[in-house]
Structure 1
Amino acid sequence: MTGELGDISVSDYYDSKVRHGEIDADADQRALAVRFDRLLEKVSEKRLSRKTSSLGWLFAKRQPVEPVRGLYIWGDVGRGKTMIMDLFFEIVPVKRKGRFHFHEFMRDMHARIKQARADIASGKIKGDDPIKPVAEDLCRELRLLCFDEFSVTDIADAMLLGRLFSRLFADGVVVVATSNVEPDLLYKDGLNRQLFVPFIQQLKERCEVVRLSSRTDFRMEKLGGQPVYLHPFSDEATARFQSMWESVVEAPRAPSDAVEVQGRTIHVPQAYHGMARFSFTDLCAKPLGASDYLRLCELYHTIFIEGVPQFERAMRNEAKRFITLIDTLYDNHIRVIALADVSQFDLGVKLGGTEAFEFDRTASRLTEMQSDEYLEQCSRL
């Protein structure tokens, strides 16, 4: 088979990266690469059978083309799911292909549907269903859709997915997705979940479900043994904080993200594969609350926070938000790497009043969040 890198399979590509020291060998990862080899072969055969190929007319007339089942790969964070999918995406010989973070894709779909509604109202589009033209456009644009971090926590996404993907699957679009949860747990406990369950069944019918359970969280291995609460502010602490970020995102910077919460948008300055980086101002100087922080916990397993100050009395609102932030991150077992002005025990000593008392619990939680036991628990979730 011929991919964009020539005559190479996903497992060959994986083995090459192991030989060159770019990744460590892992039996479960390689087994997943072999599964992708089979998908690569099927997608390549499908291209040959299409009428646009030189022999397509022969195959198209004499034998029906079976729909190609994609892959839904799930498992704990940092196991290499995205890396293997990206190897496949790089070499698969499909011109009309797209690779998206799932939430990025859904934001685009909602924006398209909003525009379609406007076009229907103005008479530019006939009919009364805004999803239909969006699905049709997507089928023309893409034959292969790869999603990173497939998850459903929003009712608007849940209600849209069934109708949208029914059209994509019917048109033969191949779907590949990585996720931290198995399909049956998507949108767990969500509002009107019974309306979403048929989509789960459809997803399992059109995608082979594979669990990747490698031995460790490869990205977080790079943080092993390093302090996760850095203080005081200094060139050395800032450089170490930046180095820790670069070690897990494998670049100086990562793309920004935008998170929708009840009609509001939280700007995420940098986000990468379940990790997000904020300044203290981003999280605590803006009117955010527990529901906003909980939404971040649903999307990110590791949060970097820089610029945590020692709180003064004039910063009571910021202090209350910080207390709520740490409580939410702690309760949801989120890994936190922080760069602060002073130790956790001195953050609230200048506040006085109720906030100073409440900070005793915050300091205790920040201390526990640095422990091996807490970090190990984060790695298992």
Structure 2
Amino acid sequence: MAIDKEHTPHAEYLALMRDGELKPDPDQARAVDALEHLHQALNQYSPPNAQSGGWLSRLFSHTDSVSSSPKGVYLFGGVGRGKSMLMDLFYETAPLSTKRRVHFQEFMLDIHERLRSWHSLSMQQRKLALKNIVFDKKVDFDDPMPAIAHQIISTTTLLCFDELQVTDIADAMVVARLFQELFNRGLIVVSTSNRAPDDLYKDGLNRHHFTPFIDRIKERMEIIPLNGPVDYRYDRLKGVETYFHPVNEETTAKLSTIFFRLTDRDIADRDKVPSGELVVQGRKLFVPKSARGVAVFSFKRLCASPLGAAEYLAIAKTYHTVIMVAIPQFTDENTSEAIRFMHFIDALYEHNVKFLCSAVAPPQQLYCSGNIGFEFERVISRLMEMQSEDYLISGHGKSLSKSV
């Protein structure tokens, strides 16, 4: 494959520096060097899942996949240091068609859905699913991980994760087992995280079952810290109003401008902003606008519809910033909507999600009448705190020690 020297992570990074979008940062420069090295290696890489031949060639490609595949890159550091931006530069220039870029929590929602599907299969269906997979040990038809790993690796050679974080024991057990299979099959991973590998799932229940995954990260990925002097995410929010009222064309336009600022997009391309979709317990949740970890919803879509804690938790885990438009005042006539809004704000707050919104009134005037006024005081308090500088500079994600 010919190397396109005009479209590499290093070239794109230099262009951003020349345009004044980025400031000199030694940590970022080291990260770009690592990503550039991987980019060049991918130009010479023939992924195992692309190889053809009979069972013997598949056996040897499986055996040699780990030793022949390039190392991935693990970028970690504080909030707003450019981790996601650098990974996006790499992903957009990566010379592979079999690549996927996904938020880690969205990926885990997909994996749990695949697990549910597997457990619903009969023994005959499981045997059929595992028929063409090469094993180096006796087949365990109760273990879904080889089949799921095979599904992933058959379409994905490069997997780019944003915000790798594990705080749940169910996710910890799944991740440790699944990535053993994926790394063995030659998957290349580039990831961002707020935590160093040794701090993943720190103090978590039964953590010793998770530590083999940390060992594999160190073995299969180059670890690059990013703790430079500039907090780009906070720079974009610093001094910016986050709670707008009333709901009108002016406040809507202000929120739109902030969205494009946070996502590094040209406001002239407003019609090109992608939508998204989350699968939650088999149900699909449409995300009207979604880019670079920022999602936009209407109040009506999230709180006037029969959604619940599972959907709100999925949103809070997947997006570091949420924009909600057209929050109404609450009375005894829309108590159900008020309760959903309470649950939604609780989920965002517990995961340090940045929240911007337009509402018909200030926080203190949102609740007018009804029988949940006392409970709604917590929402008002949290809406006020979520506008503070301390909250805006906090990292996305729920701490293991943070209580509800």
Q: TM-score, normalised by structure 2?
A: 0.75
Question: Per-residue displacement from partner, 1:7-46 (whole Å, max 9, x unpaired)?
Answer: 6653233112322455454433222101222323444455
RMSD over aligned CA atoms reads: 3.7
Label 1:197 to 1:264 Cα distance change in 2 as closer, same or farther (>3 A).
farther
Q: Distance in 2 between matches of 1:28 and 1:204?
A: 19
2:156 paired with 1:148: no
Contact 1:275–1:303 (CA<8 Å) still a contact in 2?
A: yes
SS at match of 1:336: strand
Cα drift, residue 68 of structure 1: 2.7
Pairwise mapping of residues 4-23 of structure 1 onto structure 2 (< 5 A)?
5-6=4-5, 9-21=8-20, 23=22
Contact 2:110–2:279 (CA<8 Å) still a contact in 1?
A: no
Label 1:237 to 1:208 Cα distance change in 2 as closer, same or farther (>3 A).
same
Identify unmatched segments of 5+ residues in structure 1: 53-59
Cα drift, residue 137 of structure 1: 4.5
2:189 paired with 1:175: yes
2:255 paired with 1:255: no
2:380 paired with 1:363: yes
2:227 paired with 1:216: no
Cα drift, residue 106 of structure 1: 3.8
Q: Distance in 2 between matches of 1:362 and 1:134?
A: 40
Cα drift, residue 236 of structure 1: 0.9
Label 1:361 to 1:142 Cα distance change in 2 as closer, same or farther (>3 A).
closer
Contact 2:296–2:323 (CA<8 Å) still a contact in 1?
A: yes
Question: Per-residue displacement from partner, 1:206-238 (whole Å, max 9, x unpaired)?
Answer: 112222123333244233322111111111111
Cα drift, residue 200 of structure 1: 1.8
2:363 paired with 1:344: yes
Give the fraction of aligned pairs with identical amino acids, expressed as a percent. 39
Letter matched to residue 335 of structure 1: K
SS at match of 1:77: coil
Contact 1:279–1:307 (CA<8 Å) still a contact in 2?
A: yes
Match of 1:308 in 2: 327
Contact 2:102–2:160 (CA<8 Å) still a contact in 1?
A: yes
Label 1:20 to 1:167 Cα distance change in 2 as closer, same or farther (>3 A).
same
Label 1:329 to 1:46 Cα distance change in 2 as closer, same or farther (>3 A).
closer
Label 1:355 to 1:22 Cα distance change in 2 as closer, same or farther (>3 A).
same
Question: Per-residue displacement from partner, 1:241-274 (whole Å, max 9, x unpaired)?
Answer: 222222212263343231637x776554444333
Pairwise mapping of residues 152-231 of structure 1 onto structure 2 (< 5 A)?
152-188=166-202, 190=204, 192-231=206-245
Q: Distance in 1 between matches of 2:113 and 2:314?
A: 20
Label 1:279 to 1:173 Cα distance change in 2 as closer, same or farther (>3 A).
same
Label 1:186 to 1:270 Cα distance change in 2 as closer, same or farther (>3 A).
farther
When the two structures are aligned, how many residues end up with a matched partner?
365
Label 1:189 to 1:11 Cα distance change in 2 as closer, same or farther (>3 A).
same
Q: Distance in 1 between matches of 2:8 and 2:108?
A: 31
Pairwise mapping of residues 114-133 of structure 1 onto structure 2 (< 5 A)?
118=121, 120-122=123-125, 124-125=128-129, 126=131, 128=141, 129-133=143-147
Letter matched to residue 124 of structure 1: L
Match of 2:354 in 1: 335
Higher relative CO (Cα under 8 Å, sequence separation at least 6) belongs to 2
Pairwise mapping of residues 50-69 of structure 1 onto structure 2 (< 5 A)?
67-69=69-71
Label 1:197 to 1:244 Cα distance change in 2 as closer, same or farther (>3 A).
same
Contact 1:2–1:8 (CA<8 Å) still a contact in 2?
A: no
Identify unmatched segments of 5+ residues in structure 2: 52-60, 132-138, 399-404
